[in-house]
Structure 1
């Protein structure tokens, strides 16, 4: 696909602006390179001070689509877990799909939860590892509260019976305590899709998290935070953001999440180091990409690798650590500088027969098997104190499968930079961005109309020269909009509609089954609760882009055509092609809006469809304005403005 210069400029501008916002709304007072933790280890060739675990996210078990999600998830719980033998598995939300057969409606489907429970039972997962699961936004579709009959997470998940929301588990090994803290930011109550794309931590949940942090402060050596939503997609009660809260845990190494599904494949590796001092790592989904993640803490150093199912062998270098993820705020890099062995974790369905390591362009070194997946080889880190270096690992298993991986490492503090798009997506504030998108589109929808109305007033009093038809396309459209602005019965509805979307209700209907709610741009009222607006702004943004702006242009052109053939070309007949071309854009616009209203009806039902100014009523507004465009009296346009506009 070819992009014009304007398109490239627009995309580039959006990226730059988003990057600036990501820095504006992520505060940092400390240079990460200036802080070093006191946790020093003498890294040798023993298997002590080492744990490894697994993350899987966005499983989306569905009874309507892609049965292989279920069968391959069972295979994951059998062969993959048996091969890796993790100390724990973090299942970070969207365990089920919760979409109706038409893929538009949403509700909790008990059969999907039964599949989830049965797979874990049949594979005896709890006899193999500690399975820590938590809800995602799909797991809370149409769930009015924790006690709702639709809250199947409580009945069918592993942890839901004990912990309906956020919780903590601690594992003790080799005189160290590893804490796993699950953050549940699902909306309560949980509306149907799509208005729960962004999560919320209310005061009660934040207080609960702070109670857990008191335990972390006194009894934890390392903390792994995980949840479904990225921190950019979590609102909080009060001034503190979720990043501020996690950042207060000085033992917190990382926050693990899912939800964004690699942005449809556009951002396959979504990682960043937050200014609060912890890594944030979004994992690609199981739903379409069949991804999972292996993570390790080896002598206080955190490492990970993202893996696609059935990729064997799997190789994770724990020392020296990947230079991209060095975090001196939470790890003592002196442990790597003074280490005696390169350490590698290698997993496969068959026994590993060979592990070799090569640093830079040196000779291959054969690794020695220590225990389990751990392989080591002596090295002299003093040879690599300056700059970036490359380490390459070759692994072969008994069945002949091989894997070669490469990564950069540094021992002098040299760090690589994260890509800009992951930084934007994980470090920005989605709620602020969505609100700004909506606000900008409201201004774009109203501003030009008010501007040309002002020009029209100048033209009326003769303070501006005549706009000629044979000028540039830019001035041609200014002339058309000026002509439109002279007709109050069309102009004012076009101005008031975007303003109404800012303040008035968009729809009234069953936002949650059996519970009527009211949707505004700035939030949803339902069952005595208020859910602050976030993704609602995206919904309004889309409405303005796909409906309001095209409607203005179509009506402006229609008004101009009627004026031309009624005043400047009286009696001249319009060709059939001309009439079809004049009507076609409006018909397409109405068809698109009808389709969107139909999908809204599928999602929220008949009442929301009927009492829906955003989707349904806008169709009738457009029809009325188009009728006015075709039939407005020419006397609506002042004579002075006619001579000067044309």
Structure 2
């Protein structure tokens, strides 16, 4: 027999569970796959929309062929939080927006906070939506205002038509989004240009309460509507630019495939910029530059910091079809971070605060910053043909000409003065306001293929300054963004990467459990079962006596951990079996049952099952990458960490003891290390118990939870398993203490027989004496040999 019955049973169970896991994943992601052939229908070889020598429209000195709009994101209007949050948004409406007077405003999600006072549970609060709705009415900006949902806006929302979905009743664009079934669009004609703007909702169609509601997804039906909006039914749409707005960065969205085979990449080739929010600038400066350029689609993705904490907003200008933007922070020193009272919707009470002063904001539109150049989607040849530097200046000054403007290029003061060419009411409100400034220049003076830095500083009458810089190349060539970690994050597909990492982790754990077991049990036909660990142990002892070079130490530890992996099923069969069983359960069974949508009217909509591939609610799958993120964390700290401890404990320290050395105590045998293992177990248990506070309490979330039962099993093994806290020294340790000499190393010929007997005895000290009576590792034969040697020594 090549393998033992236990090995065959483990292999068959593993194969069946893997097949089951693949089936579940295909089932969970079925809505992401369209009904048509999955092949791209749009493979334009030359994506250039503008001829390189386009001279049909010259960038001159007049305020024409230019418009701008504003993006804000992540308002998190809250009835409980008194720092930032609502007050930032209200100051933006009162003081900033009138001074800018854009064509329109787009809010890219998370309009409300939807958390309780302790920030633990989540649900929609009508007062927060009423604050949002009433503040817009009071500011008079509903015209030209577009908003979309974020993940906080669909916390604890069973479905779109449910009363818990307060977005559809209180948001400005609720009707548009409902009519477009998750996608809506609008157009704008300015000068010689025609522009399209598309917003889409990637929120879960059934919104679980937090924390499993961070990622989004676009099913095939949503991709159908998105493709129709961007491309048209027959690819008949033609615009100078198409811009797309969503809450989630693409790295946090699982995009499906449309029925006609369009993927997100196919659609991104047709639009210029993707605007989003959601990341809140992350932490530690990682999110300062969450912006990236996709060379495959020749499009930009620009994430905006939140209004909640960072008080950020963005002004985007399109000047002669060159797209520029600036991210601006509210004048926070003028806004008390902690307010005594968050405004409530009380009849007759004014929501908007008193007006604050706005420092100048500068946005350079020509020459465009080379980091954001779209070579194939913008007429970049217009830069070298332009006749003026152009920039927009927004301020609270009643007379724009009272502003002082300083222009430098490469640190040298520009010789031509700045001139105000604006039009309209500088106090805002009225459409058509254009705060354009220009300064004559000759771009040929800078046409040297080198990078140049244009810096414009504007000072108002009270000494406040606004600054903008443009790193430009007049030939229109792109330069690297150099966004560091933020640029890497924005193009790393977390939805895919998390899934890949989980599969690698599971595969690695299964390999560590199964391969050593199969290697130990493998017996070629016609031969006796051999002790697989003995040659490895000999290598370890040989390397321990070699010079302590780096290469030798690496080889030593490689063989040592190989031995430990082999010893796990041999010395701790119950732990090995329990670990393998739990790993296979994670692949093929639901992890726990939870009350994912507490507000739902019936139990089917409230309670769902958490699988590795998604959450199943009311007969439908929610294929959120949140499940993979939670699984990766649990696989790493809740399973792999304990497997490492089990493997570490599998080999007795007596096996590593050579002649003339004192007893070796490995790291995992020390009391402080065992204490750390206990602390880790308590931490994992507390994290899993926290699920009860989110999803239904003790029943069913904690009882119907395989993670809890695994942790209880792990706790017993930590306490009483091999080398556990309460475990006694092993047989091997006791034999080694009596004998006192190495069981592997042959000191001399006289001792060789003795060493052979001791080695065989120690190899089988923890095995069943009757399990391998015919093998060379037989415990009975070893004991007889041990006694024979003792008698021979006594006669001498």
Shared fold per TM-score greater than 0.5: yes
What is the Cα deviation at residue 182 of structure 1? 0.5
What is the Cα deviation at residue 56 of structure 1? 0.7
- Return closer, same or farther for 1:557/1:98 CA change in 2, 3 Å cut-off: same
Equivalents in 2 of 1:39, 1:93: separation in Å?
39
What is the Cα deviation at residue 48 of structure 1? 1.4
- Return closer, same or farther for 1:481/1:198 CA change in 2, 3 Å cut-off: same
Asked if the contact 2:364/2:469 (under 8 Å) is kept, the reply is no
Provide the secondary structure at the position in 2 that maps to 1:316: strand
What is the Cα deviation at residue 187 of structure 1? 1.0
Q: Which residue of 2 aligns with 1:492?
A: 577
What is the Cα deviation at residue 254 of structure 1? 0.9
Q: Which residue of 2 aligns with 1:460?
A: 531
Equivalents in 2 of 1:297, 1:200: separation in Å?
30
Asked if the contact 1:40/1:334 (under 8 Å) is kept, the reply is no
Q: Which residues in structure 2 correspond to 1:419-498 (within 5 Å)?
A: 419=482, 421-453=485-517, 456-457=520-521, 460-461=531-532, 464-466=535-537, 468=540, 471=544, 472=556, 475-486=559-570, 487-498=572-583
Asked if the contact 1:177/1:222 (under 8 Å) is kept, the reply is yes
Equivalents in 2 of 1:612, 1:391: separation in Å?
63
Greater Cα shift, 135-144 or 309-318: 309-318
Equivalents in 2 of 1:638, 1:95: separation in Å?
66
Equivalents in 1 of 2:647, 2:455: separation in Å?
64
User: 1:32-76 deviations in whole A, cap 9, x for unaligned?
Assistant: 789747684211111111111111111122223344311121000
Greater Cα shift, 633-642 or 178-187: 633-642
Is structure 2 residue 462 aligned with structure 1 residue 394? Answer: no
Q: Which residue of 2 aligns with 1:18?
A: none
- Return closer, same or farther for 1:118/1:561 CA change in 2, 3 Å cut-off: farther
What is the Cα deviation at residue 217 of structure 1? 4.4
Q: Which residues in structure 2 correspond to 1:334-345 (within 5 Å)?
A: 334-345=381-392
Q: Which residue of 2 aligns with 1:244?
A: 266
Q: Which residue of 1 aligns with 2:405?
A: 355
Is structure 2 residue 292 aligned with structure 1 residue 272? Answer: yes
- Residue among 52, 55, 69 paired with 1:53: 69
- Return closer, same or farther for 1:541/1:443 CA change in 2, 3 Å cut-off: same
Q: Which residues in structure 2 correspond to 1:525-604 (within 5 Å)?
A: 525-560=616-651, 580-581=671-672, 583-604=674-695
Asked if the contact 1:178/1:220 (under 8 Å) is kept, the reply is yes
- Return closer, same or farther for 1:52/1:549 CA change in 2, 3 Å cut-off: same
- Residue among 375, 400, 413 paired with 2:437: 375
- Residue among 123, 141, 156 paired with 1:142: 156
Greater Cα shift, 222-231 or 452-461: 452-461
The two structures have a TM-score, normalised by structure 2, of 0.70
- Return closer, same or farther for 1:30/1:323 CA change in 2, 3 Å cut-off: farther
Q: CA RMSD in A?
A: 3.2
Greater Cα shift, 173-182 or 372-381: 173-182
Asked if the contact 2:86/2:308 (under 8 Å) is kept, the reply is no
Q: Which residue of 1 aligns with 2:361?
A: 314
Greater Cα shift, 75-84 or 188-197: 188-197
More strand, by proportion: 1
User: 1:414-433 deviations in whole A, cap 9, x for unaligned?
Assistant: 32113353443233332221
Provide the secondary structure at the position in 2 that maps to 1:143: coil
The two structures have a TM-score, normalised by structure 1, of 0.85
Provide the secondary structure at the position in 2 that maps to 1:605: coil
Q: Which residue of 1 aligns with 2:127?
A: 111
Equivalents in 1 of 2:201, 2:413: separation in Å?
49
Is structure 2 residue 227 aligned with structure 1 residue 210? Answer: yes
Q: Which residue of 2 aligns with 1:132?
A: 146
Q: Unpaired segments of 5 or more residues in structure 1? A: 1-25
Is structure 2 residue 106 aligned with structure 1 residue 86? Answer: no
Q: Which residue of 1 aligns with 2:211?
A: 194
User: 1:401-456 deviations in whole A, cap 9, x for unaligned?
Assistant: 12333321012243211335344323333222111111122133333333443565
Greater Cα shift, 117-126 or 317-326: 117-126
Q: Which residues in structure 2 correspond to 1:152-167 (within 5 Å)?
A: 152-164=166-178, 165-167=182-184
Q: Which residue of 2 aligns with 1:408?
A: 471
Asked if the contact 1:104/1:599 (under 8 Å) is kept, the reply is no
Is structure 2 residue 702 aligned with structure 1 residue 610? Answer: yes
Equivalents in 1 of 2:472, 2:47: separation in Å?
17
Equivalents in 2 of 1:34, 1:150: separation in Å?
45
Q: Which has the larger radius of gyration?
A: 2
Q: Which residues in structure 2 correspond to 1:29-48 (within 5 Å)?
A: 36=51, 40-48=56-64
User: 1:144-177 deviations in whole A, cap 9, x for unaligned?
Assistant: 1111111011111111134233211223333533
Is structure 2 residue 301 aligned with structure 1 residue 254? Answer: no
What is the Cα deviation at residue 614 of structure 1? 5.0
User: 1:616-644 deviations in whole A, cap 9, x for unaligned?
Assistant: 2222221243334346996753674999x
Q: Which residue of 2 aligns with 1:4?
A: none
Provide the secondary structure at the position in 1 that maps to 2:696: helix
User: 1:240-294 deviations in whole A, cap 9, x for unaligned?
Assistant: 33232232x3xx3211011122232313112122221221111112222221111
- Return closer, same or farther for 1:282/1:151 CA change in 2, 3 Å cut-off: same
What is the Cα deviation at residue 603 of structure 1? 1.5
Q: Which residue of 2 aligns with 1:235?
A: 254
Equivalents in 2 of 1:163, 1:578: separation in Å?
62
